[in-house]
Amino acid sequence: MNARRTIVMVDDLRSFVDGRIAEVARTSDAGVELLGRYRDRRLDELWLDHDLGGDDTIWPVVEVLERAAFDKRPLDVGVINVHSANPAGAAKVALVLRRWGYYVRVASGSPEVGYLDGQAVNRSAPG
């Protein structure tokens, strides 16, 4: 049995400041693809940023979660942390996902995520 927590982050610039192992998607398209790999697997934590650079936002990822719940097959996610610096966007994401039964925590300003040495850092969990 694997005791390691499974964590996914969708954020264009930030990573975990403590260096924890996580799979990171930097765009909504990459986030959608990454969630597809967790369709039938447990995801302990999902961290979502609202604004993903340019015109890209988290909404395509939210739509995947909504569709799964609508189809009565919600993704198995322990907690969704919305850590966006966009308060209105974070609140709307939380409202929508809670409506579909997901456990959501608004974590805007969380000290767990940040910019490391001015560069985005990817840490991918093996296999």
How far apart, in whole angstroms, are the C-alpha atoms of residue 24 and residue 121? Answer: 9
Model pLDDT, residue 37? 93
Model pLDDT, residue 117? 57
Model pLDDT, residue 120? 42
How far apart, in whole angstroms, are the C-alpha atoms of residue 25 and residue 122? Answer: 8
- For the chain, list residues with pLDDT below 50: 1-2, 119-127
Tokens 């974070």: give the residue. Answer: 90
Model pLDDT, residue 96? 96
Model pLDDT, residue 115? 77
Q: How far is CA 15 from the centre of its chain?
A: 11
Kindly tell me the sign of the dihedral angle through the C-alpha atoms of 94, 96, 101, 102.
Answer: negative
Of 35, 22, 34, the C-alpha closest to 121 is: 22
Model pLDDT, residue 114? 84
How far apart, in whole angstroms, are the C-alpha atoms of residue 90 and residue 81? Answer: 10
Per-residue pLDDT reduced to its tens digit, 89-113: 999 999 999 999 999 999 887 878 8
